[in-house]
Amino acid sequence: MSVNDTPHRRLNLLTGEWLLVSPHRAKRPWQGETAPAERAVPASHDPGCHLCPGNMRATGEANPDYEGTFVFANDFAALLPEADVPAQHDLFQAMPARGEARVICFAPDHGTTMARMEPDAIAQVVDCWCAQSAELGGRWAHVQLFENKGAMMGASSPHPHGQVWASDFVPELVAREDARQRAFADARGEVLLDAVADAEIAAGERMIEANAHWLAVVPYWAAWPFETLLIARDPVARLEDLDVAARAALADILPRLLQRYDGLFDCDFPYSMGWHGAPHELGKDTEHWRLHAHFLPPLLRSATVRKHMVGFELLAETQRDLTPESAAERLRAVVVK
C-alpha cells in the first residue's frame, strides 16, 4: 500500500512539526460551507479605493499619481517604533514589541494581480522587496514581507498590494526555521533547503516550476491543500542578496506559479504568501540559511470550498486529505501562457 492510500504522518523539516495525512478522506461528500467565489476583475481605477493613485487614504492623506510600486507607512501599523509594557503578574509574561510596518502597492492598476502583471512590472516589485529588506534590516532584527490576496484571506482591499513588518524580535516561525536549518547544517554539513531542492528535483513528483535560480514545489510536508514552497537555488540568505539574474528569474517564475493557481479552479486564487530570509539580527552568520517563500492558499475542492483548520488541527496536529503529490500533479496539469 502506498502513502497515497493510507493514513500516515510527515515531518516538516523547517519547523520540526508533524502533520497527519489522510488521503482516503478526499473522497468524502461535502455539505459544509461554500464561500462565494472571488468577484469579477475590478476596474483599473476605483475612486473609493484607499490605495489607488491620487485617492485619499483613511487618514486624509492623498496618494501620489504613482506609476510603478508605491510604498508608504501603514496607517494602522501593528508595530510601532516605541512601545512599553507595564509590570505584569510574575506568572504572566509580556515584553515590548517594537518595529514599523509599511504597505507596498504593487501597481497602479486596481484590477490587476501579480499573476496578470507583466514581467517588467513584477521586476519592480522584486526590486522593491529587496530594497525594503535591506533598508529595514539595517535597524530591525527581522523583516517580514508578505501578501494577503483575496477577501477569503482577509485582504482589506482588492488593489494589488503587500505589506512589510519589521520588528525588534525574531517571530516564532522564523526562529524555529533558523534553529532547524542551523541544526541540519551542523549535523550534515549542508544547507537544509539545498538538500530538499536536490531531492525534489530528483523525485520530480512534487515539482511545479523551475528555472536556473528558483524551484517551486508542493513541499512534502505541506499543510494547506495546494501550498507551495519557492526555494532560491543560489547560495543566498536574504532578498537583498539576489543578483540581477536571480531577480529577473524570480520575476519570470512568480507569474507562472500564480497562473497555475488561477487556472486550477478558474478563479482569482486567494492566498497568503511571505518571504523567509535569515533574520537580520544574525548579521553575517547566515551560511545555514536559504531564502524561500511560502504560498498558503485556502481553497480545497473548488473556487467556493476552502480548507478549514478546525477540530483535530486546532487541538492536536495539522491534518490534510489531499496528498502533496496529488496537489502537485493537478497544479502541473494547468496550462500557463
Ordered domains of the chain (ranges, CATH): 48-81+96-332 (3.30.428.10)
Phi and psi angles of residue 282, each rounded to the nearest 5 degrees, phi first: -75, -15
In this prediction, residues 67-87 reach a mean pLDDT of 92
Given a cut of 90, is residue 7 above it in pLDDT? yes
Burial of 67 (0-12, 13-18, 19+ CB in 10 A): exposed
Short-list 301, 302, 289, 250, CA closest to 273: 250
For 214-265, what is each residue's pLDDT tens digit?
A: 999 999 999 999 999 999 999 999 999 999 999 999 999 999 999 999 999 9
Position 5 pLDDT exceeds 80: no
Note the pLDDT tens digit of each residue in 202-219: 999 999 999 999 999 999
Taking alpha carbons only, the member of 265, 334, 331, 247 closest to residue 295 is 331
Name the residue among 102, 153, 162 with its Cα closest to residue 126. 162
Torsions phi, psi of 80, nearest 5?
A: -125, 150
Is 276 one of the catalytic residues?
Answer: no
Q: Is 154 in contact with 271 (CB distance < 8 Å)?
A: no
- Tell me the whole-structure pTM to 2 decimals: 0.94
CA distance 320 to 3: 13
Question: Residue 101 has which C-alpha cell?
Answer: 510596518
Question: Could you count the other beta carbons within 10 Å of the beta carbon of residue 68?
Answer: 15
Integer-rounded Cα radius of gyration of the chain: 20
Q: Which amino acid, 203?
A: A
Query: From CA 97, how far away is CA 99, in angstroms rounded?
Result: 7
Given the residues 161, 213, 276, 294, the one annotated as active site: 161
